[in-house]
């Protein structure tokens, strides 16, 4: 969720730090808003961050389906939005995301029409990739049959959250190792690893409105792959707003 929020705000004048450890940055002050999310409400590192935030002067907003997080917030008069879990944390992700966005509507510059457009696009994507569609148009089936070893997902900065979500889903559902790497960074150091033969399979997640210099990096990497006869799979983001 934090990575998605970071991507959404990447084009705004709001600084975002995603913390996945146990401690807040020392730069947190009374002008900061700390948002803690844990679908179960019992994630240990998130609870540690919540305690850190409570000791600071920062404003706090918490979201969970209950657990220790809700108890802590109720005890200490901290804003908490209870969001019932659907089946499992991974299945609850969309519900949590849109609830958080709606709850923080005065802070996060995402309009209702943007969320409605994103939901329509999700429905459209669902019809294409769900298990009942066995046609060639189902890109998820093509990708599943293509992946044989360890995928390496390349992404542009604005789509980092999509790459991480993709990685987490493959790891959780397919029980496999997955690597992610920023396309710009890969052109500095990561690309040299391809000088040797490898079982790693590159997947390119491209944005519809990638920056011109980022597009140049994609072209360089693809040219290199073709020269080395390295097979790769390309995925493009859909048309729409930053949330879509």
State the CATH number of the domain containing residue 84: 3.40.50.10490
Structure-token match 């609870």, residue found: 47
**pLDDT greater than 90 at residue 177:** yes
Domain boundary among 75, 110, 145: 110
**pLDDT greater than 80 at residue 204:** yes
187 secondary structure, DSSP code: T
Determine, yes or no, domain membership for 205.
yes
Whether residues 140 and 228 fall in one domain:
yes
The pair of structure tokens assigned to 211 is 């920056």
- β-partners of residue 37 are 63
26-41 in b/e form (b: 16+ CB < 10 A) is eebeeebebbbbbbbb
Q: For 77-89, what is each residue's pLDDT tens digit? A: 999 999 988 877 7
Q: Which tops the pLDDT comparison, 121 or 212?
A: 212
Whether residues 75 and 142 fall in one domain:
no
Structural domain boundaries enclosing 72: 2-110
Q: In whole numbers, what is the pLDDT of the chain averaged over residues?
A: 89
Q: What is the mean pLDDT of residues 43-47?
A: 95
Whether residues 92 and 169 fall in one domain:
no
125-164 in b/e form (b: 16+ CB < 10 A) is eeeeeeeeeeeeebeeeebeeebeeebbbbbbbbbbbbbb
Integer Cα distance of 186 and 16 in angstroms: 23
Domain boundary among 92, 110, 128: 110
Whether residues 189 and 104 fall in one domain:
no
**pLDDT greater than 90 at residue 233:** yes
Integer Cα distance of 74 and 236 in angstroms: 43
Q: What is the mean pLDDT of residues 146-157?
A: 95
Q: What is the mean pLDDT of residues 203-213?
A: 92
**pLDDT greater than 70 at residue 189:** yes
Is 84 within 8 Å of 65 (Cβ atoms)? yes
Q: What pLDDT is recorded for position 143?
A: 92
182: three-class secondary structure by DSSP: strand
Determine, yes or no, domain membership for 34.
yes
Stated length of the chain: 244
Least reliable range by pLDDT among 14-28, 109-123, 170-184: 109-123
Angle, alpha carbons 23-25-27 (nearest 5°): 150
Is 222 within 8 Å of 191 (Cβ atoms)? no
End-to-end CA distance of the chain: 15
- HSE-up (13 A, CA, CB side) for residue 150: 8
Determine, yes or no, domain membership for 119.
no
Q: What pLDDT is recorded for position 163?
A: 94
Q: What pLDDT is recorded for position 244?
A: 63
Q: What pLDDT is recorded for position 50?
A: 95
Q: What is the mean pLDDT of residues 44-67?
A: 93
Determine, yes or no, domain membership for 202.
yes
Determine, yes or no, domain membership for 90.
yes
Q: What pLDDT is recorded for position 153?
A: 97
Domain boundary among 94, 110, 126: 110
Determine, yes or no, domain membership for 130.
no
Q: How many domains does the chain have?
A: 2
Whether residues 102 and 191 fall in one domain:
no
- For the chain, give the percent of residues with pLDDT over 70: 99
Q: What pLDDT is recorded for position 121?
A: 86
């Amino acid at each position: 969720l934090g990575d998605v929020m970071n991507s959404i705000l990447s084009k705004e004048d709001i600084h975002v730090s995603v913390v996945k450890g146990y401690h807040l940055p020392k730069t947190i002050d009374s002008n900061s808003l700390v948002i803690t999310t844990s679908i179960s409400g019992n994630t240990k590192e998130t609870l540690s961050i919540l305690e850190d935030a409570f000791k600071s002067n920062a404003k706090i907003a918490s979201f969970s389906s209950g657990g220790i997080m809700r108890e802590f917030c109720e005890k200490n008069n901290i804003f908490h939005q209870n969001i019932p879990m659907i089946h499992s944390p991974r299945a609850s992700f969309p519900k949590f995301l849109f609830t958080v966005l709606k709850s923080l509507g005065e802070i996060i510059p995402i309009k209702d029409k943007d969320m409605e457009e994103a939901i329509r696009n999700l429905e459209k994507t669902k019809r294409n990739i769900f298990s009942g569609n066995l046609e060639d148009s189902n890109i998820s089936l093509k990708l599943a049959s293509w992946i044989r070893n360890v995928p390496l997902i390349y992404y542009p900065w604005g789509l980092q959250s999509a790459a991480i979500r993709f990685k987490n889903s493959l790891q959780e559902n397919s029980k496999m190792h997955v690597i992610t790497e920023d396309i710009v960074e890969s052109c500095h150091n990561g690309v040299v690893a391809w000088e040797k033969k490898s079982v790693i399979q590159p997947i390119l997640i491209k944005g519809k409105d990638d920056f011109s210099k980022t597009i140049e990096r994609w072209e360089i990497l693809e040219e290199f792959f073709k020269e080395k006869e390295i097979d790769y799979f390309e995925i493009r983001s859909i048309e729409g707003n930053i949330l879509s």
